[in-house]
Amino acid sequence: MKFDHIGLFVADLEIGRQKLSALLPITHESPPIDDPLIKVRVQFCTDSSGICYELVAPFGEGNPVSLSLENGKAILNHVAYVVTDLKAEAIRLRKEGAFPLGPAKPAVAFDGRLVMFFLTPLRFIIELIEDAS
C-alpha cells in the first residue's frame, strides 16, 4: 500500500478550497472532477510538504456526502492508498475486521480505476485505489 490522499467532505468545492487554502500552505489545485457514478464532485489540493487532500462535495441525490455534512460527522472522511492488487487488499482488510461500504466502482477522478471503501474497527475509513500499472 502506498499513501495517496486524505479525503475531506465539504458542502461546496470552491468554499472548501478557499478555507483549506487559508488554513494550510496549498501549492497546487487540480480542476474539479464530476463523478456521476459515485455521485460526488472532487478536487485535489496539495500542500507544500506534498500531502494531498481530496475535497469531496455532493453531486446529486443519493450521494455519500450530504448525510455526513448534515450530522457533522466523518468530515475528515478517509485515508486513501494505492494498491497493486485491490482484491487481495480487500480480503486482507476484511480479515482484520474492516467492513466494505460497497462494491468496488470505477472512479472518474482516477481515470476509471476501481476504488473501494472500508470502515475500519478504529472507526475511520480506508479507500483503496487500484494501481494504474
Q: In DSSP terms, which residues pair with 119 in a beta bridge?
A: 99, 125
Confidence of residue 73 (pLDDT cuts 50, 70, 90): confident
Coil, helix or strand at residue 87: helix
Return the CATH superfamily for domain 2-130.
2,3-Dihydroxybiphenyl 1,2-Dioxygenase, domain 1 (3.10.180.10)
Given a cut of 80, whether residue 123 has pLDDT beyond it is no
What pLDDT, on a 0 to 100 scale, did the predictor assign at position 46? Answer: 97
Domain segments of the chain: what residues? 2-130
Given a cut of 90, whether residue 49 has pLDDT beyond it is no
Separation between Cα atoms, residue 2 and residue 61, nearest integer Å = 32
- Buried b vs exposed e over 36-65: b needs ≥16 C-beta within 10 Å? eebbbbbbbbbbeeeebbbbbbbbeeebbb
Q: Mind listing the pLDDT tens digit for each residue in 20-35? A: 998 889 999 999 999 9
Q: Which residue has the higher pLDDT, 89 or 72?
A: 89
111 DSSP assignment: T
Joined together, the cell numbers standing for residue 118 give: 472500508
- CA of 108: how far to CAs of 41, 70, 98, in Å? 10, 25, 25
Residue indicated by cell numbers 455521485: 39
What's the mean per-residue pLDDT of the chain?
93
What pLDDT, on a 0 to 100 scale, did the predictor assign at position 18? Answer: 93
What pLDDT, on a 0 to 100 scale, did the predictor assign at position 122? Answer: 64
Q: Which residue has the higher pLDDT, 130 or 74?
A: 130
Given a cut of 70, whether residue 64 has pLDDT beyond it is yes
35 DSSP assignment: E
